[in-house]
Amino acid sequence: QVELTESGGGSVQAGGSLTLSCVVSGLTQYSLGKNSMAWFRQTPGKEREGVAHISKNGATFYADFVDGRFSISRDDAKFTSYLLMTSLKHEDTAVYYCATVFKGSRPLARDEYGIWGQGTQVTVSV
């Protein structure tokens, strides 16, 4: 059974930084290396939206609102994906989820992913 476990969320002041981690279990390193990984976020009453995607080859895609502030990376030897978030804004407050098993061609589309973590809360205060 494939599981994703996020960590690293917390409370930070606007302008601060956080690094989120997503550990994958239940896949071999070989299988993980064949899958893209992504980060999404969701606030109450809103749809879950794509934040960043990293392909099996390391190509990255970001939502427009990231505007150069976030960086996604992966270390397959550690079965981990990271999301470095800098210059955080109050509107970045959300539950952040990681996802894998990318099924299609739209890197930031929620329905293109088959496996999800439980999420980690990020709160940015003004």
Whether 93 contacts 14, CB under 8 Å: no
pLDDT at 109 over 90: yes
Q: Which two tokens stand for residue 43?
A: 């606030």
pLDDT at 76 over 90: yes
- Per-residue pLDDT band for 103 (boundaries 50, 70, 90) equals confident
Percentage of the chain lying above the pLDDT 70 cut: 100
| Calpha distance 27→79 (Å, rounded) | 9
pLDDT at 15 over 90: yes
Percentage of the chain lying above the pLDDT 90 cut: 89
pLDDT of residue 105: 86
pLDDT at 69 over 90: yes
Edge to edge, what strands does the sheet with 18-25 contain? 3-7, 18-25, 80-85, 70-75
Q: Which two tokens stand for residue 51?
A: 């934040």
pLDDT of residue 39: 98
- Per-residue pLDDT band for 104 (boundaries 50, 70, 90) equals confident
| Calpha distance 22→78 (Å, rounded) | 10
Residues in CB range of 67: below 8 A, 6 or more apart: none
In angstroms, the Cα distances linking 109 to 20, 93, 123 are: 20, 20, 23
pLDDT of residue 102: 85
